[in-house]
Amino acid sequence: MIFQKIKTDPGPAPDGGMTAWLQVVAGVLINALTWGYSSSFGVYQLYYTTALSLPPSQVSWIGSTQVFLTFFISAFSGRSADAGLAQQTVLLGCFLGVFGTLMTSLATKYWQIFLAQGICTGLGMGLMYMPTVAIISSYFQKKRGLALTTSASGSGLGSIVFPLVLQNLQDKIGFSWAVRIQAIIALLFAVIILTLLQPRLPPRTAGPIIELRAFHEASYSLFTIGMFFIFLALYFAFFYINSYATTVIGVSSETAATFLVIINAITIPSRPLLGYFSDRWFNALLTLALASMFMAFMLFIWIPVKTLGGMYAWVAIYGFATGGTQGMFSGALASLTHDPAKMGTRFGMVCSVLAFASLAGPPIAGGLIESMNGSFVGAQAWAGAVTLMGSLFITAARWSDRKALH
């Protein structure tokens, strides 16, 4: 029921049932519209650098600004979800996301694309994402890891659908109409999302947007630092895999697009699979630490990959690593939040910090590539190093959390 108000405490999380799993379905679609769309920026990156003759680092500011706003606005949208305005916030986010995509189809200059795709769409995505995480978390306790990682698998769905639509249609109907088709798909997703979303907890009207006391918890602070390092490099491959494939491997733009699709396709099963394992046998923080270490290893392994066969093998394995890392983020952070009423606020605070990492990361990588005359080696080594650093902080957060519980 749209804009339903909850006045009484509904009791403990049901950990299942039709309504609970429908929230996960809504989460899948929202992740498709937010992180799925962001993860498909590599197709845009290649188009803008070739069609508009723009340098890679300048183009990457569009995608990184979009991701920055998605995270940064989460502090406000998370608090609005806690205050009982989740559905209204998501509605506004859906409108801005669809409107920004439509405006992107009309844009012909860099500043127009930046405003439409970077600013408007980014604001919409930030308003959409965090309320859904808070709602899903309120329905699950024992199965929370599985629910959140299943929801996160929607980013894999979106990052397959959106780049395939753009790549396959732009030569037939033109770039502008291909982007408009994306906007129509986004609108259909939005209608389903708004129909399914149903908050469970009563509003928490009192309380600040930022709860600084959370950073007094060593595990929460270590987790935030670790994720900052990981997100510095997280979007490097998503943004630059197409450019790497065309310039280093020497394949066509159509073949290059398949690498991005493969990465994103592999993330779909990897997220709920690791979520299931974390619920049954592992701690969510430990699973995240191991997944991010594996992701760092794969970024280092990317350096010597120079053949078409090697690229296919690399993207398949890397998709599992990055999917697990992204998928376990929500479950690991939820494990550090013991009051469900503060879920949106505490999630939003971390996301606001990650916003700056996501904003800086892709342009840093682009600058390294340009400074090395088009070589990707420096950017690949940098991405692997900062991801490894982040995984060590996540490991420390796990140790600190265990110590606090005992």
CATH superfamily to which 18-205+212-405 belongs: MFS general substrate transporter like domains (1.20.1250.20)
Query: Would you say 139 and 23 are in contact if contact means Cβ atoms under 8 Å apart?
Result: yes
What are the extents of the domains in the chain? 18-205+212-405
Distance CA 244, CA 286 (A): 32
**Helix axes 308-335 and 236-244, enclosed angle (nearest 10):** 170
Q: Write the single-letter amino acid at 194.
A: L
d(CA 202, CA 253) in angstroms, rounded, equals: 50
Judge whether residue 8 has pLDDT over 70. no
pLDDT digits (tens, 9 = 90+) for 131-181: 888 888 889 888 887 888 888 888 888 888 888 888 888 889 998 999 999
pLDDT 10s digits, 175-202:
899 999 999 999 999 999 999 998 887 7
Rounded to the nearest 5 percent, the helix, strand and coil shares of the chain are 80, 0, 20
Counting Cβ atoms within 10 Å, is residue 60 exposed (0-12), middle (13-18) or buried (19+)? Answer: buried
Q: Taking CA 269 as the corner, what is the angle to CA 282 and CA 277, rounded to the nearest 5 degrees?
A: 10
Residues 242-296: tens digit of each pLDDT: 889 999 999 987 788 888 889 888 988 888 888 788 777 778 899 999 999 999 9
The residue count for the chain: 406
What does the mean pLDDT of the chain come to? 87
Give the pTM: 0.78
C-alpha 160/C-alpha 156 separation (Å) is 6
**Alpha-helical regions (H) of 281-307:** 284-301
Question: Is residue 60 predicted with pLDDT exceeding 90?
Answer: no
Helices assigned H by DSSP within 197-283 = 218-234, 236-244, 253-280
pLDDT of residue 147: 87
- pLDDT digits over 196-240, tens only? 998 887 776 656 667 778 788 899 999 999 999 999 999 899 888
For residue 306, which amino acid is it? K
